[in-house]
Structure 1
């Protein structure tokens, strides 16, 4: 029970934060739940798609190439693509999607639905230490990928031009950021024992990247809140 609580708690905290940042016109809880469950379903579909490849290693002879394939091919591309599909399907034509910040709210809800199921699976299999680590890193990262996706998703919806371009950015930028995040983790794990200097460099690079991701996320949230049509 404790592991389940640790798995779900960071998801709840971030969802509540994103919800209450929507200070001018909050979204219907029922629609947020649909978006969240869409994210859960995107995780299920991802697992089913990748299941046939479970247990197959990547033999490239190059740890950098191997880390890139795992980060993008097994994680970023399928995960962010399926999140985007469910986000578009549930939200794009919904009448409640009526201001810029809404795209971020719904995209983060989808992303955290995905992260919630993924986190439960990881933590129940690997224990408390993994749960605490993921609470501060992996779950917020999924939310921040959602912020980027939602930011451009709203630009696509409310700007009169460049709809396709902004939809493309919504998906592509989320994939790129997710891929870089996972690449640094996979490369660190795969290069263990090569050089302590390489390991130190990768740890520093990872936390710099995470800090930049957080800064960018907060800025995007602030920009879209300021664009609210419901501001007095």
Structure 2
């Protein structure tokens, strides 16, 4: 059957005959036949089938509410908890804002206003490109913008401020001990910088663990923190060591030339360094987020952080070796032998992970097909970005811009549902009732989004999916059961489907 979702018989027509079978992206609301049991652990579809979106749901029990009582009719025991969350959020915003002001004042005082402005302008240039790369990785289930902004701000202001204080204090101690100041970059900076860059995502994992869908999210959150850190650090190097230092001795032209040289080295050649380092810690956090094993939850982040520190320390060691040996070729060998392989290895791994959430839908969502909540073609269209784009184009064709938005939200919600079901199967949630209530809310949202583009294609007849077969109303007005084809027809052809 080729449809984005089956439609109750009262819905407008929407199917196209293909090879003797009704085909074409028909959309609608799936419902199990009366009395059919749901799949184990899944909410039951009402006996009369799910009502069409936009129709009143009177009489349908609300998940977790006795007797179908609406949420507003019961006391809210979590009100005080939400109030404390708001207080904590406000305190975090004030804290990060204070760190931002302190860093701005420090940079302006040490490198001057001109150096601060020019350094900021140059350091901002690679930021959109780097952020875009990480957003490209997070296409299946994009993370909330607020959480991404938190990680970026944490790395830019909290992590840089703390690292600056610790590195400066360590340099003072090393000088008193008669040690070279360059040792700070090898023995201190990797540990404090990677720890502070990772601490922001760790706090997010602690407080918002359900927003972590796996390793991809760990790489994205830690990558955003590292981008913020690198941006502020580049302001100091470009505006201070570059423009301000040369301008003071040789004039503005020399300052601009030095700024350009540092830009080429730090931005064009090694602009990926900090995100690469901290991505190792992100991998560890992502592993911890999707496991129920307590030892793994602790050991995976620690292992990832240690790897990040080791790669960072190795990279910082190269300039010290150049200074000690006088051989600049050491830096080239280190760049080609360490950084480039690590970079391409991490990129390849991240691209492989990019499709993990798509493949997860093929494993987790068929349970909802058997329960009557979803149809086989709906699940089939979620398994790759190409199929998702094809479904969105179809939704826009039959329902306009509203259909496109609804299809996009439908896909994101279905992906969240797959992640939630996978987490429930893994035993990640202590409060099962809360997870089940969230599951029902996601199913209701899937139903509501689907209703925007349901039955809009005039080429497909009314159809209903009962969890095992389709019930299609033919032109003679008779509804007949049709077995689902082995390869569901969707906006683009597929070859396999796993049930």
TM-score by length of 1: 0.85
Query: What residue in structure 2 maps to residue 80 of structure 1?
Result: 194
Determine which of 234, 238, 256 is the counterpart of 1:123. 238
Deviation at 1:114, TM superposition (A): 0.9
Deviation at 1:131, TM superposition (A): 1.8
Distance in 1 of aligned mates of 2:339 and 2:306 = 18
Distance in 2 of aligned mates of 1:7 and 1:224 = 29
How big is each residue's C-alpha offset from its partner over 1:24-80, in whole Å with a ceiling of 9 and x where there is no partner? 0111111101000111211111112223344554745xx9xx86x433323111100
Q: Does the 8 A contact of 1:91 with 1:106 survive in 2? A: no
CA gap 1:201/1:133 in 2 versus in 1, 3 angstroms:
closer
Verify: 1:19 aligned to 2:151, yes or no: no
Determine which of 18, 29, 32 is the counterpart of 2:145. 29
How big is each residue's C-alpha offset from its partner over 1:148-172, in whole Å with a ceiling of 9 and x where there is no partner? 2211210111133322121111210
Q: Does the 8 A contact of 2:119 with 2:234 survive in 1? A: no
Query: What residue in structure 1 maps to residue 313 of structure 2?
Result: 179
Verify: 1:70 aligned to 2:184, yes or no: yes
Consecutive unaligned residues in structure 1, runs of 5 or more: 193-197
Q: Does the 8 A contact of 1:100 with 1:225 survive in 2? A: no
Query: What residue in structure 1 maps to residue 214 of structure 2?
Result: 99
Query: What residue in structure 1 maps to residue 224 of structure 2?
Result: 109
Distance in 2 of aligned mates of 1:190 and 1:12 = 37
How big is each residue's C-alpha offset from its partner over 1:108-142, in whole Å with a ceiling of 9 and x where there is no partner? 01111111111111100112211221102443100
Distance in 1 of aligned mates of 2:353 and 2:153 = 24
Distance in 1 of aligned mates of 2:314 and 2:119 = 28
Please report the RMSD computed on the Cα atoms of aligned residues, expressed in angstroms.
2.2
Distance in 2 of aligned mates of 1:134 and 1:201 = 17
Q: Does the 8 A contact of 1:70 with 1:183 survive in 2? A: no
Consecutive unaligned residues in structure 2, runs of 5 or more: 1-116, 243-258, 362-381, 384-499
Q: Does the 8 A contact of 1:37 with 1:113 survive in 2? A: yes
User: Hey, which of these two has a bigger chunk of helix by percent?
Assistant: 1
Query: What residue in structure 2 maps to residue 195 of structure 1?
Result: none
Determine which of 295, 303, 307 is the counterpart of 1:169. 303
Deviation at 1:202, TM superposition (A): 4.1
What is the DSSP-based 3-state SS (H/G/I as helix, E as strand, rest coil) of the residue aligned with 1:23? coil
Q: Does the 8 A contact of 2:278 with 2:305 survive in 1? A: no
Verify: 1:45 aligned to 2:162, yes or no: yes
Query: What residue in structure 1 maps to residue 120 of structure 2?
Result: 4
Distance in 2 of aligned mates of 1:187 and 1:44 = 28
What is the DSSP-based 3-state SS (H/G/I as helix, E as strand, rest coil) of the residue aligned with 1:143? helix
Verify: 1:219 aligned to 2:361, yes or no: no
Q: Does the 8 A contact of 1:151 with 1:220 survive in 2? A: no
Distance in 1 of aligned mates of 2:119 and 2:331 = 29
Q: Does the 8 A contact of 1:36 with 1:113 survive in 2? A: yes
CA gap 1:53/1:147 in 2 versus in 1, 3 angstroms:
closer
Query: What residue in structure 2 maps to residue 90 of structure 1?
Result: 204
Q: Does the 8 A contact of 2:216 with 2:354 survive in 1? A: yes
TM-score by length of 2: 0.42
Distance in 2 of aligned mates of 1:54 and 1:47 = 10
Larger Rg: 2
